[in-house]
Amino acid sequence: MILDNTKQKERIFLIVRTVFVVVSVLLILVPIFLTVMNSFKSAKEIADSVVAFPKNPNLKNFQDAWRRLHYPVVLKNTFIVTVFSVIGCVIFAGMTGYWIARHDNVFTRIWNVLFLSGMSVPFQCIMITFATMIGLFNLGNTYTGIVVSFWAFTIPMAMFLTSGAVKAVPLEIEEAAIIDGCGMLGLYWRIVFPLIKGTIFTIASLNVLHYWNDYLMTQFILTKKDLRTIQIAMQSLFNEALFSWNTAVAAVTLSMLPMFLFFLIAQKQVLHGATEGAVKG
């Protein structure tokens, strides 16, 4: 009798969990599906029914969105900002997190607290002060300005995760490498870095999404039209095409396409990195 009750509870829990997963997936996929589907419809068809399939699908909406977004230009700008921001965050956060994890003293504790305190400060709270600093260092309307700004706001969390991953690496491995004559930089990049690459890839993946989809800070620093990223160009297009929803949804689809391809190609590494990073962190 007790065994039957246990099996029944497990079955109910499985059903509830399955329903929860299905509903969660639908909440994510249905808006994406509707967006892509409406990208092939005319404005009149969208006005008639958002959920209906396109009667005469065409690529005119994508052509208009490509032209009005200046898609090759904004794609290049977004790609440059994202790549250099990710590379810098991985390098600086990784090495800083490693140093703090392996050198426990008053100096590193103070710096660790200062770094981690940055995680609790929203950008909106220091926006005016940040604007003054950007102006003083002449970093406005430059790739350097936006990349360094991204580093400032994402390195604390990345450093926190890296530090936790480093603590899970046996110290004996590093001691053996030092005996063999490995220097400090070689110790990190040749020994420690490969052992925490799961966490590093998790950090990189999350930050790719953050950098690619950021609007507020990018709009704040990059005001020139030829330096616009995808999200700034999207907002500008929405303001111009307030009633051209067919062009707007096509632009949204174009903005999602690079990230979709990225995770389609790197899905195994993303899943493996997220799982390993969660265990080590």
The confidence score (pLDDT) of residue 1 equals 54
Radius of gyration of the chain (CA): 24
Residue 52 CB neighbour total at 10 angstroms: 12
Helix 267-280 crosses helix 197-213 at what angle (to 10 degrees)? 120
Domain boundaries of the chain, sorted by first residue:
2-38, 60-280
Locus of tokens 């420690």? 192
Rounded to two decimals, the pTM is 0.81
- The string of pLDDT tens digits covering residues 54-85 is 888 888 889 888 988 889 999 999 999 999 99
CA neighbor of 163 nearest in space, from 121, 108, 206: 108
Ordered DSSP codes for 17-49:
HHHHHHHHHHHHHHHHHHHHHHTTS-HHHHHH-
Q: Is the pLDDT of residue 99 over 80?
A: yes
Cβ(53)–Cβ(36) below 8 Å? no
- Give the max Cα distance, the chain: 76
Superfamily holding 60-280: MetI-like (1.10.3720.10)
Cβ(127)–Cβ(220) below 8 Å? yes
- The string of pLDDT tens digits covering residues 156-202 is 889 888 988 888 888 888 888 888 888 888 888 888 998 888 888 88
